[in-house]
Amino acid sequence: MTEFTPISALLGGALIGAGGVLLLLLNGRIAGISGIASQLLQKPNGDWGWRLAFVLGLIVAPWVLLPTAINIAPLAERSTTLIIIAGLLVGMGTNIGSGCTSGHGICGMARLSKRSIVATLVFMTTAIIVVAVSSNLKGWS
């Protein structure tokens, strides 16, 4: 169980929204993180450079925060097999479904895209079911 943190959630969310909409305003691109990252696997073209820059920004962000000593919680104890399966599902699912929490959940929802609203409802509902089932299984064991 984790603590309810509405203020940092709102503030962090506003930064996520700001980064996303600035990418659209400045570069004319949707800030879908799965799409941007997955297209780095393609042969480099004119769009490869900004995608790499964006991903690097995401990766180095915690280093910028170090002076203010914000802790990044270590990953909860999970088996290696489960991590690999989850990673594969996240990669395949976001690729097949053309987006993740950022592309569909924020950029698409904000634009009132029907596809994104449906995708977000579907992945949220699915994830809620998975968590409900797995916490029940843990309860029995």
Partner 1 sequence: MKQPTNVKTYLSALACGLLMGLGLVISGMVNPQKVIGFLDLFGHWDPSLAFVMAGALAVYAPVYWLVVKRREKSALQQTMQIPVRTDLDCKLLIGAILFGIGWGLAGICPGPALTLLTTGESQIVLFVVAMFAGFWLAPKWLSLLDKN
- Least distance in Å: CB of 110 to partner 1? 4
**Rounded to the nearest 5 degrees, what angle is found at the Cα of 116, between the Cα atoms of 1 and 103?**
70
Q: Identify the sign of the CA torsion 123, 116, 9, 36.
A: positive
Find tokens 């929490």 and name the residue: 101
Kindly state the number of chain residues that form the binding site for partner 1, as judged by CB under 8 A. Answer: 107
Cα distances (angstroms) measured from residue 135 to each of 28, 78, 86: 42, 13, 16
| 44 near partner 1, rule: CB under 8 A | no
Paired tokens of 121: 């409802």
Paired tokens of 123: 């992945």
Interacting positions 97-126 with partner 1 (CB under 8 A): 97-98, 100-102, 104-111, 113-115, 118-120, 122-126
Nearer to partner 1, 6 or 140 (CB): 6
- Least distance in Å: CB of 133 to partner 1? 9
Residue of the chain from 69, 74, 140, 141 that contacts partner 1 (CB under 8 A): 74
| 92 near partner 1, rule: CB under 8 A | yes
Nearer to partner 1, 3 or 140 (CB): 3
| 67 near partner 1, rule: CB under 8 A | no
Q: Identify the sign of the CA torsion 78, 69, 51, 40.
A: negative
Residue of the chain from 135, 137, 140, 141 that contacts partner 1 (CB under 8 A): 135
**Of the candidates 73, 75, 85, 60, the residue with the CA atom closest to the CA atom of residue 3:** 73
- Least distance in Å: CB of 43 to partner 1? 13
